[in-house]
Amino acid sequence: MTGEGRKDDPLTGPVTITASDSPDQPTPSPELRDLYRGFEKELLVPLWTEIGDLMPLSPRPSARPHVWRWSSMLPLAERAGELVPVGRGGERRAMALANPGLGGAPYATPTLWAAIQYLRPGENAPEHRHTQNAFRFVVEGEGVWTVVDGDPVAMRRGDFLLTPGWHFHGHHNTSAEPMAWLDGLDIPFAHYTGATFFEFGPDEVSDHSTPSRSRSERLWAHPGLRPVSRAERLPSSPIAAYRWEHTDAALNDQLALEDEGFPGVVEPGHAAVRFTNPSTGGDVMPTIRAEFHRLRPGTLTAARQEVGSAVWQVFSGSGTVRVDDREWRISHGDLFVVPSWAAVTIAADAGLDLFRFSDSPIFERLHFDRTLMEGQR
Ligand code: GTQ
Ligand code: FE2
């Protein structure tokens, strides 16, 4: 809505409903002005003044393409480690990406939260559980165990770890080094839709043991195998940790097969895997899709548009990313946001590994999903 700005009294103040840029607006008249004043008094908004914003020909999201530099975020996280305790109340020393198009809210996109979390040696982030689905991705370091419903899960470089909604979780750093990692959650989606519940758990994580594999992995993380005793379709993946060695090997094999003349890659020089829920074959959690992409040296991906938003993090290598009319050089740890329907292309220098997460499962479930690949217009 454009116009004069709302004054306190809807009866005597200026009419703020204006014809804006939509065609076929009625001719201004004192009667029309009274009609619009009546709408305002009754908290009604006529569609004919709003249609351009509400029903554009293609998505016009408020979120903007943006990049956050790991080299800028990490020193701030370290400083927060010195100045800000972690414990009950704040719960986590997590610093969220605030998309410049979302009015200062701590949201990377309208649906997704992305944050750098920081835990110093010996520190303990208390247990809690919430409706929101969460994951961790480890771009560097190790030494923290996240305890998910009593199951201690080691966090190491390259690992992708799950904390699906309503599972208790706390983190503790048993090593001599601080550790920083990426958190991804559906906090904005849950917040807007009024779907959030939260419960405190013990102040100390329930189990301080440090096994290299979690119980969940021992039960569920064997390729192509599921325990026969567990036949149900679970809403979220029961695998608490997807280990880097498996992700790396899968990507290496895709590229090796391409060399041998077999199909399997997304496009020439572009291998990718999606993390899945072994009980369904679908996405790891109801609201979040997660993938890992590997580009050979010199690969340029075809432009791709998709309904729904995504956040990418560079794991290793360097390159250039273009999102609509924005372009950035990217390297280790850098995060960038691709808003809904923005066209993204990525070019690798001497190879590029990227982690990506998105809200696609929401849109697919609602049949709002749509994609467009360059050359298929
Ligand atoms: O680690 O439990 O970045 O609850 C935001 C909310 C991390 C967590 C975040 C959380 C957590
Ligand atoms: Fe949490």
User: What CATH number has the domain bearing residue 199?
Assistant: 2.60.120.10
Q: How many structural domains comprise the chain?
A: 3
Say if CB 140 and CB 183 are below 8 A apart.
no
Strands, E assignment, the chain: 66-68, 94-96, 113-119, 124-130, 134-137, 142-148, 151-156, 160-163, 169-173, 179-185, 198-200, 241-242, 270-274, 289-295, 304-306, 310-323, 326-331, 335-338, 344-358, 371-373
Q: Assess if residue 227 is contained within a domain.
A: no
Structure tokens at 160: 């992708």
Domain with 107 in it = 66-220
Confidence of residue 2 (pLDDT cuts 50, 70, 90): very low
Query: Which residues approach ligand 1 with their CB closer than 6 A?
Result: 91-92, 94, 115, 117, 134, 169, 183, 185
pLDDT at residue number 20: 56
Q: Whose CA is nearest to atom 8 of ligand 1?
A: 92
Q: Could you tell me if residue 61 is inside a domain?
A: no
Phi, psi of 184 (to 5 degrees): -130, 130
* Closest C-alpha residue for ligand 1 atom 6: 92
Asked if 161 and 120 sit in the same domain, the reply is yes
Domain shared by 87 and 30, yes or no: no
Which of the four pLDDT bands, split at 50, 70 and 90, describes residue 17? Answer: low
* Average pLDDT of the residues in 283-307: 98
* Averaged pLDDT for residues 333-355: 98
Q: What is the mean pLDDT of residues 234-255?
A: 98
Please tell me whether residues 246 and 361 are part of one structural domain: yes
Whether residue 213 contacts residue 130, with contact meaning beta carbons closer than 8 Å, is answered with no
Q: Yes or no: say if 202 and 126 are a contact pair by the CB < 8 Å rule.
A: yes
**Closest protein CA for atom 5 of ligand 1:** 94
What is the pLDDT averaged over residues 310-329? 98
- For residue 15, name the pLDDT band (cuts at 50, 70, 90): low
Name residue 5's amino acid.
G
pLDDT of residue 6: 40
Which has more pLDDT, 207 or 289? 289
User: Does a structural domain hold residue 8?
Assistant: yes
Average model confidence (pLDDT) for the chain?
A: 94
The last residue of one of the domains, among 29, 54, 79, is 54
Residue 352 lies in a domain: yes
- Which of 14-23, 45-54, 207-216 reaches the highest mean pLDDT? 207-216
Residues 93-123 pLDDT 10s? 999 999 999 999 999 999 999 999 999 999 9
pLDDT of residue 53: 85
Pair 292, 184 in one domain? no
- Let me know whether 199 and 150 are in one domain: yes
Is residue 183 predicted with pLDDT exceeding 80?
yes
Please check whether residues 29 and 77 belong to one and the same domain.
no
* Cα of 133 from ligand 1 centre, angstroms: 10
The answer on 159 and 48 residing in a single domain is no
- Distance, in Å, from the CA atom of 218 to the CA atom of 224, rounded to the nearest integer, reads 13
Average pLDDT over residues 162-169: 98
Please name the residues in contact with 250: beta carbons below 8 A apart, sequence gap of 6 or more.
273
Assigned domain for 230 exists = no
Q: How far is the CA of 262 from the centre of ligand 1 (A)?
A: 42
- Res 85 pLDDT > 60: yes
Q: Are residues 40 and 157 in the same domain?
A: no
Please, how many CA atoms are within 13 Å of residue 137, restricted to the half-sphere of its CB? 24
Q: Do 74 and 208 reside in the same domain of the chain?
A: yes
Q: Is 308 within the bounds of a domain?
A: yes
For residue 33, tell me if it sits in a domain.
yes
Same domain, 49 and 117: no
Q: Are both 70 and 197 inside the same structural domain?
A: yes
pLDDT level of residue 376 (50, 70, 90 thresholds) = confident
184 within some domain? yes
43 and 88 both lie in a single domain: no
Closest CA to 310 of 293, 325, 329: 293
